[in-house]
Amino acid sequence: MIKRDYYLDRLIHNMWNGEIKVITGIRRCGKSVLLFDLFYEYLLFQGVKEEQIIRLELDQRRNYKYRNPITLCDYVDSIVSTRKDEKFYLFIDEVQFTIKVKDEENAGIVVTIYDMLNELKAYKNLDVYVTGSNSK
């Protein structure tokens, strides 16, 4: 595995800055490795517990339901809002697989992942990281 010190340092430097951290690049360039392996291991080494890191790989069948941004947001909310005294990290891999959906609870307005990421950004105990490319 190629160590990506520069990019890892950028992630570390931008932790808890109140913004969504987005890792983009061409297919197979190591975005997921950077986030799900290198940064994940860094967090564990720093004492973050595994259960404080929410990992969603949207290209995996077990996570297809989270391609719906409302379902994704509700899932994260169910964890983060009930444990406000803990800090959480959200890793979303392959964010380009999310879909637009109608929010029937809100007059059928179309909701995208951007809407949900903005909502998640409001949590003071959640630091959000996403990877994506232009492929589907």
Q: Tell me, what CATH number does 9's domain have?
A: 3.40.50.300
What percent of the chain is predicted at pLDDT more than 90? 85
Task: Tell how many helices (H) and how many strands (E) occur in the chain.
Answer: 5, 6
What percent of the chain is predicted at pLDDT more than 70? 95
The string of DSSP codes covering 38-79 is IIHHHHHHTT--GGGEEEEETTSGGGGGGGSHHHHHHHHHHH
Tens-place pLDDT, residues 77-93? 999 999 999 999 999 99
* Domain around 128: 5-132
Separation between Cα atoms, residue 136 and residue 134, nearest integer Å: 7
Asked if 27 and 135 count as a contact pair (C-beta separation under 8 A), the reply is yes
Q: Is the dihedral of CA 73, 78, 82, 85 positive or negative?
A: negative
Tens-place pLDDT, residues 102-131? 999 999 999 999 999 999 999 999 999 999
Length of the chain: 136
pLDDT for res 2: 55
Structure tokens at 28: 């197979």
**How is residue 65 annotated by DSSP?**
G
Domain count, the chain: 1
Q: Cα 15 to the chain's mean position, in Å?
A: 13
Tens-place pLDDT, residues 91-110? 999 999 999 999 999 999 99
pLDDT for res 67: 98
Q: What stretch of H or E contains 24?
A: strand 21-24
pLDDT for res 68: 98
Q: What are the backbone dihedrals phi and psi of residue 126, each rounded to the nearest 5 degrees, phi first?
A: -135, 130
Flag whether pLDDT at 12 surpasses 60.
Answer: yes
pLDDT for res 3: 59
| pTM score of the predicted model | 0.92
